[in-house]
Amino acid sequence: MSSANIVVLGSSNTDMVVKAAHLPAPGETILGGQFFMVPGGKGANQAVAAARSSSSVAFIAKVGTDIFGQQAIAHYQQEGILVDTIFRDEENPSGIALISVDAKGENCILVAPGANATLTPKELQSVKNTIISGNVLLMQLEIPIATIEQAIDVAVQHDTKIILNTAPAQALSDQLLQQVDILILNTSEAQFYTGMTIENWEEAALAADYLYQKCPGIIIITLGAKGSLLKEKDNYIQIPAEEVNAVDSTAAGDTFCGVLAACVAKEMSIVDAVKLASKAAAISVTRMGAQTSIPFWQEYNIL
């Protein structure tokens, strides 16, 4: 089985996007929207972001045997991602996301996970050598938690660095969090885990302190247009975001995570990694779509 510096474990979806003047209220129909259909899923988005960051990437995921699954795998191959760890579900369809985007770039997303929800710990165990041979394991929370726990067990035993993006937020055990090397959350996710309101740097630092008690690694809280707060041991570093004209924020967080993983695999400092990830995320929000918006290494590698 092929090996790569970065192993991404996560979801693969097809995104069906409609851009309109505003997001519909319950019962409202909005005419005049633009329609796009593009590859998506948090796992896939992050794998593409890492691959476009001049890194070797293997993707562990599960798709259906339908046309969406076939197109997804072909697309990942074109991106240079290793796909021999992608499983096929004979019974369930590939994941689908319905995304509405307004004129300011804000979005709402409805996901039908399909095959993503059937990726089992047993299947993960069958491709553990891919994780063992990697330098970095990057994960999100759009697949079963039991499968994520299995991957963490493998990574811990073989000193593979673990990066977890807690999106979408859901309950996690203290044991799982204790084994994570880098934890990445946005403000809503950080509020889910801490119960704290996070609207500024000071509140983000308090939330990072709380999270550090459960996850004694590196904590990164992204604050959208404000930037990111990085907590490494007793150090707190504010990394401002660039001011851009946002048109679609769909893949900003995933771009950040994928690029950060690539920088970590390249053994860059965590501060430089966050700066580059922030630069890439800023570029992504100026473009429509998920993977269609993710920039390439040469577009933001300014260090």
Residue 45 is assigned to a ligand binding site: yes
d(CA 37, CA 64) in angstroms, rounded, equals 17
250 is in an annotated binding site: yes
Compute how many other C-beta atoms are within 10 angstroms of the C-beta atom of residue 268: 16
14 has binding-site annotation: yes
Find residue 40's DSSP bridge partners: 13
254 catalytic, yes or no?
yes
Q: Does 199 appear as a known binding residue? A: no
Rounded Cα distance, 81 and 52, in Å: 10
Looking at the DSSP bridge assignments, the partners of residue 219 are 183, 231
258 carries a ligand binding annotation: no
Alpha helices in the chain (DSSP H): 42-51, 67-78, 121-126, 128-133, 145-157, 174-178, 187-194, 201-214, 252-265, 270-284, 297-300
CA separation, residue 289 to residues 15, 35, 176, 212 (Å): 8, 10, 32, 34
Known binding residue 103? Answer is no
List of residues 6+ apart from 303 with CB closer than 8 A:
268, 272, 275, 276
- Per the annotation, does 234 bind a ligand? no
The single residue of 84, 159, 174, 254 carrying the catalytic annotation is: 254
Q: Which two tokens stand for residue 111?
A: 């996901």
Whole-angstrom distance, CA of residue 103 vs CA of residue 212: 37
232 is in an annotated binding site: no
Two tokens, residue 20: 């309109």
Q: Is 21 annotated as a binding residue?
A: no
Instruction: Please check if 254 is assigned to a binding site.
Output: yes
How many other CB atoms sit within 10 Å of the CB of residue 180?
25
> Is residue 204 exposed (0-12), middle (13-18) or buried (19+ Cβ within 10 Å)?
buried
Nearest-CA neighbor of 251 among 29, 38, 32?
38
Residue 262, marked binder:
no
222 annotated ligand-binding residue: yes
DSSP secondary structure, 19-46, as one string: E-SSPPPTT----S-EEEEEEE-HHHHH
Q: Flag whether 224 is marked binding.
A: yes
Annotated binding-site residue? 27: no
Q: Is 225 annotated as a binding residue?
A: yes
Residue 289 assigned to a binding site: yes
Q: Is 122 annotated as a binding residue?
A: no
List active site positions: 254
As annotated, the binding site for ATP includes 186, 222-227, 253-254
The annotation places the binding site for K(+) at: 248, 250, 284, 287, 289, 293
**Annotated binding site, which residues?**
13-15, 41-45, 142, 186, 222-227, 248, 250, 253-254, 284, 287, 289, 293
Q: What residues form the annotated binding site for substrate?
A: 13-15, 41-45, 142, 254
